[in-house]
Structure 1
Amino acid sequence: MASTGGGYWRRLVRRLTSDVAELDADDLSRKAEADGAQKACDCRSGEEVTVLGRLRSVELCPRDAAATLEAELYDGTEGVTLVWLGRRRIPGIEPGRTIKARGRIAVRDGRKVLYNPYYELQTTS
């Protein structure tokens, strides 16, 4: 019982002294793990992965004639860029939205990328 009480106080002190961004990252990471998703920091190029996180940014990137929609997903450990080729807009894909994405990890310009990922919009709870 004494160790449980020490853990409680340690968590309470951490919550009171940590900044909001750090606590949010911890919550995102815990939620992703609880839903069976891999941590983005553990994903390697060529692996089939499922990641869950919050979209930090969404932008249309016209490259030559073919447009792409790019979104940065952050799971509390690292960011993954989601790229939908030939799309200008996808309903529900907007900053602040939590989604689960699945696909094969690639690396572009030193950043992790999922091209045309399967995705599920998550409900807020």
Structure 2
Amino acid sequence: MATASYLKRLTRRLTEDLGDADAASIAQESRATGAQRASECCRGDEVTMHGELRAVETCSRNAKAGVKAEFFDGTDTVYLKWLGRNRIPGIEPGRKMTVRGRLGEHDGNKVIYNPYYELYGSDD
């Protein structure tokens, strides 16, 4: 009987979408830190979230100079924008971090401008 449930769990893990498994792992880690879930936050909220950077891009156009990052906490995506910066050491795809700031909205997406952040190493 225990073998049947083991086989079900193993089959589910082998056949599930890697993106879903990754999202569940990040969401579980975020809950463990006590951070807020991006999916439950709305514009104007002062938030603290824990998650992972999925993509980072630098914008060097005059009016929109800065660094833009896609932050994912396992429930939703929030864009982080640091204005007036060309590059920020440590802000790179795959880095785990905790961010804090006021949640806004731009073009229908959640965004935090110039968030406070704490980076975690790969072994944290």
The residue number in structure 2 matching 1:77 is: 75
The residue number in structure 2 matching 1:36 is: 34
Relative to the length of structure 2, the TM-score reads 0.87
The residue number in structure 2 matching 1:104 is: 102
Q: Return the alpha-carbon distance in structure 2 between the equivalents of residues 77 and 14 of structure 1.
A: 21
The amino acid of 2:122's aligned partner reads T
Give unmatched runs, 5+ long, in structure 1.
none
Q: Return the alpha-carbon distance in structure 2 between the equivalents of residues 67 and 121 of structure 1.
A: 22
Relative to the length of structure 1, the TM-score reads 0.86
Matches within 5 A, 1:39-118: 39-65=37-63, 67-118=65-116
Structure 1 vs Structure 2 CA RMSD: 2.0
Alignment size in residue pairs? 121
Worse overlay, 106-115 or 15-24: 15-24
Paired residue secondary structure (2:60): strand
The amino acid of 2:91's aligned partner reads I
The residue number in structure 2 matching 1:21 is: 19
1:17 CA drift (Å): 2.6
The amino acid of 2:102's aligned partner reads R
| 1:12-37 residue CA offsets vs partner (Å, 9 max, x unmatched) | 44323312111010000000110111
| Cα pair distance change 1:38/1:67, threshold 3 Å | same
Paired residue secondary structure (1:34): helix
